[in-house]
Amino acid sequence: MNGARQVEHRLRVSVNTESVAAAERFDYWAHEVSRIFGALESRPGGADRSAFHARAVGDSLGPLRFAEIDAAPQTVRRVEPAPARDDGGHGGHYKVAVQIAGACLVEQDGVRGALGPGDIALCDTTRPYSFTYDRGFRTVLMLLPRALLPVRPELMRTITGRRLGADGGVAAVVGPFVRSLSRQSAACSEAAVTSLTDGAVSLVTALAWERLAARERPVPQNAMFARIRAYIEARLAHPDLTPDAIAAAHGVSRRYLFKLFAAEGLTVAGWIRCRRLEHCARELASPAAADQPISRVAARWGLLDGRHFSRLFKSVYGQTPRDYRRRSLAEGGAGTGWNRRR
């Protein structure tokens, strides 16, 4: 087992069973998958473990984590879910699985989805889930912090564990984007991280809204909600961004505005807060803004009360803005990033 190739550089990690003794390959793989990618249980897809082979390459891009896996048949399960903090359920991650080759049966909350090449599935790491591959496969996984996705977990629960076909709509864009980002993340400059992270979050958010809207909401209402979101996004820096101002700008009542957001399981204030905190977190994690006072970063996104910002930030990200910046900048230059619970 000592001959196995395992390389860790910055936030990159690679595991390969090629040079491991045949009889030990699966046990080695199962141990490394659990150690690096989180507390997962793996079971081989056949009785002959000596025929097993697998390779995984993991990388990071800001708060996003990627893994590209090429392996023999197996079942991977998370039976001990990653913890969701008591801050409104925003701990943990969403796992975005893009099937590249072979087939997969994904299951969560009793819901099953059969994936073929190009298909996508979403899973919530705060609840048990499983991926079963009955033959050799290739897949790309992206872990996205739940706190970054502005859709309430109870709504996301209605689309997790299901096949999201890539034959049209947003899914047809998400799959190639995630695959390309996974392969190019190591070559991306620090200056590009924020924009690429924004793109990934926006695409997954659009995918979630598309699937939710198709189930419940009429098109005109969907279009109005999209216009309001764009209006808010363009004015996050304004401290006086209020429900009244938003409703007036779109010629609707406060009640109708609240109804639009409630249909997504959101509140207007909560949405604004989430988007502001997300922008602040990205600036705090960026080396390009390392010399900016935290209060100035917060004020730039419409959060003028420093103490209130610090409490709010900690309630969502689990640490103070100062600690978050220190850890993020340190990880960007050294740690492995994957060696933590998912």
* pLDDT score of 148 more than 70: yes
pLDDT tens profile 6-45: 333 345 788 999 989 998 999 999 988 888 777 788 999 8
Helix, strand, coil shares of the chain, percent, nearest 5, are 45, 20, 35
Gyration radius of the chain's alpha carbons:
21
pLDDT value of residue 82 = 59
Closest CA to 122 of 80, 164, 154: 164
In one-letter notation, the amino acid at residue 173 is V
Answer left, alpha or beta for residue 85, where phi above 0 means left and psi between -120 and 50 means alpha. Answer: beta
pLDDT bin (cut points 50, 70, 90) of residue 215 is: low
User: Coil, helix or strand for 324?
Assistant: helix
- Per-residue pLDDT averaged across 53-74, rounded? 91
The ranges assigned to domains in the chain are 5-188, 214-333
CATH class of residue range 5-188:
mainly beta
Answer left, alpha or beta for residue 236, where phi above 0 means left and psi between -120 and 50 means alpha. Answer: alpha
| Of residues 264 and 127, more confidently modeled | 127
Helix and strand element counts for the chain (H, E): 11, 12
In one-letter notation, the amino acid at residue 196 is L
pLDDT value of residue 332 = 57
Cα dihedral angle (329, 331, 332, 338), rounded to 10 degrees?
-150
* pLDDT score of 96 more than 90: yes
Residues 87, 272: Cα–Cα separation, whole Å: 17
Q: Does domain 214-333 have CATH number 3.40.50.1220?
A: no
Is residue 334 within 8 Å of residue 8, measured between CB atoms?
no
Token pair of 65 as six digits: 């984590």
Q: State what percent of residues in the chain have pLDDT above 70.
A: 87
- Per-residue pLDDT averaged across 121-140, rounded? 93
pLDDT value of residue 6 = 37
